[in-house]
Amino acid sequence: MPSKYALLRCRVGCVCCAAILALAACNDAWSDHYDATSTTQESGTLWDAIAAQPDLSNFARVVEACGYDILLSGSQAYTVFAPTNDALTTAEADVLIEEFRQQQAAGTRVNDNTVVRQFLQNHIALYKWPVSSITNDSITLMNDKYAVLTPSTLAGQQLLSTNALYSNGLLFTLGHQLDYFPNVFEYLGHDDDLDSVYRFLNSFSVYEFNDAKSVPGEIVDGQTVYLDSVSELRNTVLQRYGLINSEDSTYWMLCPTNSEWRRLVGEYEPFFNYANSVNQRDSLIYANTRLAIISGAFFSRTINSDEALRDSAVSTRAISHSLRRMTGWEDAYYTYFKPYAQGGAFYGTEDITCSNGHVLKSPAWGISKFETFAQTIKVEAENILAQDTIIDAVDPLIVREVASNNPFYGKVSGNSFVEVQPDPATAQVTVQYRVPNILSGMKYDIYAVFAPATAYDTLAVDETKRPNIILPTLQWLDQNGKEGRNNRMRTKTVNTAVMDTIQLVTGQTFPTSSYGLAEEQVKLRIKSNIQSNQTTTHSGTLRIDCIIFRPTELGGFAAQ
């Protein structure tokens, strides 16, 4: 026959008790507070007391139906704030019990059962919380919600009785049920018009056992059976973009309604068409399409004051102005200027207050893809990880640094560029770069930026009198992994006396996406196309600052 604690583990499962252990009353101040109360030890457990009081019979029925009678019969200490029958009617108890059973039959995890989380755990706190005439504490309930406890109230509701001490905790009674105030993440699951976003985000949720916060009991068959098995929610998407499920954080989330979500999915999915050979292709298309919608929709109130929001809303994905200035990156992605103005990110949204922030419900999405994932791709020529192939060079690529007293300082991206000299026998040299994060079906205008010799050597005046002639070529992988190539790109003349930005091609599209892939699928080749009879009038040396792919608009794939 299983032990009482094994039965507890079976019936209750992983109960989410995220109370902070530091609040366990080990310091002198807490001891003084506890000693100031007037409590009399009663016989039995909390469950014995609840089951024995006729005025708590409706609450007792819900406790037992959800398996919490076992929890409240153990040795772990709790404080229970039980609503009386006047506060919880028989009909209301029947509804709660039926809802619990329906969710249980549907396979809902105990931690996610709304009856457990929104009702039972909303009336129970871990540890003993006695009150005295000086009590004014913010306590953490079992569902992680905070509630202010005073000598006569909890969260503003009147305490009818207080400080009944039993072997495993304290029992209070309430004249009204405590209101449940959802956080941002929970609200998404409650609003039927936002459940598309919620289902996607919740698909990343897992509960992980926390042995440090769990209470060990007896050992059965060599395994510790926990009196209280504490599991904590982990969600990789929320950890990356914003902890909207945490009561200790304050976030706003911009959230599209279901109809707007479907429209955005249809618009964005063509940008994430991966080649058939890409591992987990379908999963990548599904996840990246939807992350493209919401990744820039989380806003921490730590960096978004009311005053600041009138000018701009900075999402958690945004790069700070100081870092952008330091790196020379001019585009302020994931930052939305004048968000409340017509056409702005927050314009026309419904503002819903939650326990840890706000949901901004959007029937018309006010964020452009060009403000978030459809970004300009800049490949720094000196980045060795982007360098793919070098042909007919005298030496490997040489990195040239621009001195702070050079007139070109601050004009060269990152204040460095590469220099490649051709083999004298051929007078030509070719460099090929890998280009990451290409979106399928997106039109790109492609540029190469060249630096003059004087950006490195101010005495190299003769070199600046001889232009260079380059021939660019693009290649990519098609849907079936075969190489595609744009061989129709024309030669371009580079002015070697100045910083020269050459537009290589306009409106170039690609059939497959490499967004988020470790292996790039698009390569740009730049050839110094000097003939042997041009060496006295032209320079064959390549001095490349960077390569830029700037997205313009959606367009179908067409080889040029």
pLDDT in tens, 430-446: 999 999 999 999 999 99
Q: Is the pLDDT of residue 12 over 50?
A: no
**How far apart are the two ends of the chain, measured CA to CA in Å?**
76
Residues in the chain: 560
Q: Output the CA–CA distances (angstroms, integers) from residue 16 to 22, 126, 203, 451, 486, in the order listed.
A: 17, 11, 18, 60, 57
Angle at 235 between CA 308 and CA 347, to 5 degrees: 30
Q: Is the pLDDT of residue 554 over 70?
A: no
* pLDDT at site 24: 38
Say how far apart CA 226 and CA 314 lie, in whole Å: 44
Mean pLDDT of 356-363: 97
Q: Is the pLDDT of residue 556 over 60?
A: no
Q: Which of 22-36, 262-276, 354-368 has the lowest mean pLDDT?
A: 22-36
Pick the CATH number of 4-180 from 2.30.180.10, 3.40.50.360, 3.50.50.60, 2.30.30.140: 2.30.180.10
Calculate the average pLDDT of the chain.
86
Q: Taking the domain 185-206+232-371, which CATH number applies? A: 2.30.180
Q: Is the pLDDT of residue 9 over 50?
A: no
Query: How buried is 248 (Cβ within 10 angstroms: 0-12 exposed, 13-18 middle, 19+ buried)?
Result: exposed
More confident of the two residues 424 and 34 = 424
* Structure confidence by residue, pLDDT tens digits, 290-345: 999 999 999 999 999 999 999 999 999 998 655 545 445 556 899 999 999 999 99
Same-fold call for 4-180 versus 377-554: no
Q: Which residue has the tokens 């945004």?
A: 318
Please report which confidence band the pLDDT of residue 19 belongs to, taking 50, 70 and 90 as the band edges.
very low
H/E stretch holding 454? none
Query: Which residue from 205, 368, 201 is spatially nearest to 290, judged by alpha carbons?
Result: 201
* pLDDT at site 280: 94
Mean pLDDT of 250-265: 98
377-554: what CATH class? mainly beta
Q: Which of 69-73, 151-155, 197-201, 228-232 has the lowest mean pLDDT?
A: 228-232
Say how far apart CA 111 and CA 231 lie, in whole Å: 9
Q: Is the pLDDT of residue 178 over 80?
A: yes
Q: Is the pLDDT of residue 252 over 90?
A: yes
Please report which confidence band the pLDDT of residue 245 belongs to, taking 50, 70 and 90 as the band edges.
very high
Q: Is the pLDDT of residue 11 over 60?
A: no
Q: Is the pLDDT of residue 454 over 50?
A: yes
CB-based contacts of 121: which residues, under 8 Å, 6+ apart? 15, 16, 141, 142, 143
Is the pTM here over 0.85, yes or no? no
CB-based contacts of 253: which residues, under 8 Å, 6+ apart? 184, 188, 242, 244, 297, 298, 299, 357, 358, 359, 360
Angle at 240 between CA 234 and CA 245, to 5 degrees: 50
Domain residue spans in the chain?
A: 4-180, 185-206+232-371, 377-554
- Tokens matching residue 78: 């709790």
Q: Which of 94-108, 209-223, 513-527 has the lowest mean pLDDT?
A: 209-223
Q: Is the pLDDT of residue 417 over 90?
A: yes
Say how far apart CA 171 and CA 50 lie, in whole Å: 8
* Structure confidence by residue, pLDDT tens digits, 21-63: 333 343 344 444 444 454 667 889 999 999 999 999 999 999 9
Q: Strands (DSSP E) along 132-214, which ranges?
A: 137-140, 146-149, 153-154, 157-166, 169-174, 205-209
What proportions of the chain, in percent to the nearest 5, are helix, strand and coil?
25, 30, 45
Q: Is the pLDDT of residue 213 over 80?
A: no
